[in-house]
Amino acid sequence: MTLICCEPVRMVGSAATALRPVYSLVSLEIVGRRRAEALLLGSRILIRYSARLHLSQNRISDDHSRPLYSVTQNASLPTFSLVGGGSSGTYSAIRLSDLGKTVVVVEQHDQLGGQTQTYTDPTTGGKIDYGVVVWHGLSIVRDYFASLNASLVYRPTDNITTKYFDFTTGKLDTSYVPDAPADLIAAFSGYVNQIAKYPYVNAGLFLPSPVPSDLLYQPQTMIGFLLGFAKGMGNLLKQPTLYVMKNFGADIITDILATFAGKGFLTTALHNNHLLYANAAAVLGNNIFSNSTIVSVDRSSHNQVKILVNTTNMKVYTMLQCDTIMMTIPPKLDNLKGCDLSRFELSLFGQFMNKGCYAGFVRNSGLPNNITIFNVNPNTLYSHALLPATYKIAQTSVPGLVVAVFGANQTIPDQQGQHQILSDLKQLQVAGKGRSNPEFVIYTSHTPFELTVPTAAIAGGFYQQLYGLQGTRNTFYTGAAWHTQDSSLLWQFTEALLPNITAN
């Protein structure tokens, strides 16, 4: 059992002069069968137990036995504490630092970047991006990368043959005919005109009241193309048009059309999108608490937030005290354990549903090196695959290594996705396929993905209420749930939020 004592403590020996007069942190691990209980009261945890504990040289021990946990405390008081070091959290931290603010980032993994991940092949040294693969050709993207010394280039068009297979049988679907480029361009034009009726959708979820009924219905145009493009959205045919427009907006269409002229989407010159976050980590330095989780959050004060952080690989608890907390993680209740949520916050965050999105690199698939395969189902409307299912299996820059993208209408166990992908690869009857004994090199979950709420909630003013939380209880929010699952557009959203954050 672990007990945490957050209390101005009296130190003995040289430890007394080593600590500043702010809240020191004592973490106690009670082993064996001894019973203890801790009661959190604001920033103080009252500890009642029978064993006598000795505090010396910044360590806690039980009756002079082996040291248990180190005594730690925050050396400075940051202006902002950011929960989550993904796309939105890292951007917020860098930009607030640019504005002269003191920041601390609490990140559960060992590196920043969230869904922006890069695999390095141990044999060739080649790098392959997965998760976030491309960026929009926007000025905010170019400026952000330039500020962190990461060069961008236009992403080249893949010179790969695309085939459409029915993964339920493993056979080529000869009846499936993808949209011709000329037809797509014509469809894009009508789609953009439709999006233009709702300009507020491009900037966030600043919806009027009442919400236009067109945004609540299911999409009616470009469905075939969208089903192949918008991976991770679950069953697109059951999604309100609002979420489709958020996921596939005017900026994406602009970049798609620009690819015909050799421009369009951007990627790093070194084919390493994670370089952006490695450089950001170097700038933020010791202000990052990696491998760390939130134990508790206390926002009861009108001018201060207290956050108890557990850094697991060091067995250390730290109390952060700051003016403002920025929540950048998906606001699912499972993610917010330990946060002092109000009833209203609980009622809002509890409505979010999410989809499942997964990706993995696989070797020994037996597939030829010049083919990418999409999953289609000839027995469904628009030939869309029934989820959970593998969306596609694509070639990478490393010969013999393919990437599989898998989707589900909700979170599923990793084992389920892995099993289905390997089964699909074995079953595919592709001309020129060699011996197939597929195995994962790496598998990752991007879940919870694409947070949505029911249509009735949208119509009932959910997003107006959600946005009303900004700035309350010394808390601001950013991330995909507040706009869309798109890093480039999230940076725009966060940048627009910064004046309110810093003014607060």
* 216 falls within a domain: yes
Question: What is the Rg, in whole angstroms, of the alpha carbon atoms belonging to the chain?
Answer: 25
pTM for this predicted structure: 0.86
Other Cβ atoms less than 10 A from the Cβ of 435: the count is 7
| Domain presence at residue 8 | yes
Q: How big, in percent rounded to 5, are the helix, strand and coil portions of the chain?
A: 30, 30, 40
φ and ψ of 195, to 5 deg: -60, -35
**What does each of the 504 residues of the chain score in pLDDT, given as a tens digit?**
233 333 322 222 333 323 222 223 333 332 222 322 332 323 333 222 222 223 333 333 334 444 444 434 444 567 999 999 999 999 999 999 999 999 999 999 999 999 999 999 999 999 999 989 999 999 999 999 999 999 999 998 888 899 999 999 999 999 999 888 888 888 888 888 889 999 999 999 999 999 999 999 887 667 878 887 878 899 988 999 999 999 999 999 999 989 888 899 999 999 999 999 999 999 999 999 999 999 999 999 998 999 989 998 777 888 888 999 999 999 999 999 999 999 999 999 999 999 999 999 999 999 999 899 999 999 998 899 999 999 999 999 999 999 999 999 999 999 999 999 999 999 999 999 999 999 999 999 999 999 999 999 999 999 999 999 999 999 999 999 999 999 999 999 999 999 999 996
Domain boundary among 12, 42, 70: 70
Give a yes or no: residue 348 inside a domain. Answer: no
Contact between residue 187 and residue 225 where contact means Cβ atoms under 8 Å apart: yes
Residue 469 belongs to a domain? no
Q: The domain spanning residue 333 has which CATH number? A: 3.50.50.60
Question: SS3 for 204-243, per residue?
Answer: CCCCCCCCCHHHCCCCCCCHHHHHHHCCCCCCHHHCCHHH
Q: Residue 452: which H helix or E strand, with range? A: strand 449-452
185 and 38, same structural domain? no
- Cα distance between residue 271 and residue 5, in whole Å: 47
- 65: domain range? 2-70
User: Which residue in 103, 5, 98, 94 sits closest to 55, CA to CA?
Assistant: 5
Same domain for 205 and 293, yes or no, is: no
Q: Is residue 280 a part of any domain in this protein?
A: yes
Let me know if residue 131 belongs to a domain.
no
In terms of DSSP H, where are the helices of 121-268? 139-147, 181-195, 200-203, 223-229, 241-247, 250-259
Which pLDDT value is given to residue 340?
97
Do 335 and 358 belong together in one domain?
Answer: no
Dihedrals phi, psi of 182, to nearest 5 degrees: -65, -40
Residues 357 and 236 in one domain: yes
Question: What is the Cα–Cα distance from 147 to 279, expressed in whole angstroms?
Answer: 10
pLDDT score, position 182: 85
Same domain, yes or no, for 177 and 216? yes
As a whole number of angstroms, the distance between CA 89 and CA 112 comes to 9
d(Cα 86, Cα 78) in Å, to the nearest integer?
19
Q: In whole angstroms, how far apart are CA 490 and each of 90, 164, 306, 330, 479?
A: 11, 33, 27, 13, 7
The reported pLDDT for the residue numbered 327 is 98
Tell me if 76 sits within 8 A of 99, measured CB to CB.
Answer: no
Q: How many domains does the chain have?
A: 3
**Domain termination residue (choose one: 19, 37, 70):** 70
**Measured between alpha carbons, how far is residue 150 from residues 141, 276, 284 in Å?**
11, 6, 16
Task: Note whether 403 and 428 are same-domain residues.
Answer: yes
Does residue 383 sit in the same domain as residue 325? no
Let me know whether 330 and 371 are in one domain. no
Q: Are residues 446 and 357 in the same domain?
A: yes
- Distance from CA of residue 376 to its chain's centroid? 28
How far are the Cα atoms of 174, 289, 393, 394, 437 from residue 401, in angstroms, in the given order?
26, 34, 10, 9, 12
Residue 494 within a domain = yes
pLDDT digit string (tens) for 290-301? 999 999 999 999
Does 377 lie in the same domain as 324? no
Q: 169 with 316, same domain?
A: no
CA distance 487 to 272: 16
180 & 317 share domain = no
The enclosing domain of 386 has a CATH number of 3.90.660
Count CB-CB contacts under 10 A for residue 269. Answer: 12
Tell me if 310 is assigned to some domain.
yes
